[in-house]
Amino acid sequence: MAGYDLHTHSTCSDGTESPAANVRLALERGLAGLGVTDHDTTEGIDEAVRAAAGTDLEIVPGVEFSAEHEGASLHVLAYWVDLRHEGLRTELRRLVDTRLRRGELIVEKLRDLGYAISFERVREIAGEELIARPHIAQAMVEAGIVATEKEAFDRFISDDGLAYVPKHALDPLDALALIRDAGGVCVLAHPGMWKGSGAVPDELIERMAAAGMAGLEVDHPDHDEAQRARYRDLARALDLVPTGASDCHGARYGFRLGCDTTPAELVEELRRRAPEPRPAS
């Protein structure tokens, strides 16, 4: 049976395709399930569910939650959370509200460095969706500041870039606790991608596992074979479910939806690890 792609993005955050378009692509590629995991928003879930109605494709509702460790971004995937949980809703609103100001500050830094870039153009690229760094990178390419979006990240807007601006984000253990309070299952996203070419410290992964994290994203298109083997061993040692996903952003990094997947039996194991949601205090 085909697997589940548990990590995808749409135009609700920094992907180039709508949730419905991602569903169509998942069906074309014969997937059993699709994780809808936009950055810091659950807005695309309903559209994906409607698009998948009447098909055999299961929509796994989720969100890629922004956290921060040692001053660098770290992402945790949350699945099957109670979307009515007020604590979670409050934190997602806070994350969304700070994205606009962060985008403005990054553009200000670029202009201070002597680069002519318009925040109005960044907003046009983002449309009605959340402003994210790939939108700024696209504007930088259009303005001739860099040749590619990758260069924009590498030189300017990655965690150690010249125009980097940190955003509001929880400590990963606090994010994990909030996700579990909302009845969700937490998986650490792409642990081999942190601080640019670094890796999330094993000690932090161990602490998160001890605090109730359910899984570790092992098979990811930006993990090489050595990383995949190492994280599979680490997941086994910590009793974490090893997951696989494309982290597809549509055309932005190539239409790689379904290139890495999670077997159905491991998706069920993740589901079994979901705690009962607790009312936020």
Whether residue 219 lies inside any domain: the answer is: no
List all residues 6 or more positions away from 51 whose beta carbon is below 8 Å from its beta carbon: 19, 20, 23, 24
Whether residue 12 lies inside any domain: the answer is: no
Whether residue 103 lies inside any domain: the answer is: yes
- Please tell me the pTM assigned to this model: 0.85
Q: What is the DSSP string of 202-266?
A: HHHHHHHHHTT--EEEEE-TTS-HHHHHHHHHHHHHHT-EEEE---B-GGGG---TTSS-B-HHH
**Predicted local confidence at residue 281, as pLDDT:** 47
**Predicted local confidence at residue 198, as pLDDT:** 86
Q: What is the mean pLDDT of each run of 10 residues along the chain (281 residues)?
A: 92 94 98 97 96 98 94 93 94 86 92 94 85 90 94 90 86 97 97 87 98 98 97 98 97 93 98 79 47
List all residues 6 or more positions away from 73 whose beta carbon is below 8 Å from its beta carbon: 66, 67, 159, 167, 169, 194
Q: What is the rounded distance in angstroms from the CA atom of residue 63 to the CA atom of residue 44?
A: 10
Whether residue 72 lies inside any domain: the answer is: no
Count: domains in the chain: 1
Whether residue 235 lies inside any domain: the answer is: no
Whether residue 120 lies inside any domain: the answer is: yes
Q: Residue 143 sits in which domain range? A: 99-157
Whether residue 216 lies inside any domain: the answer is: no
**Predicted local confidence at residue 250, as pLDDT:** 94
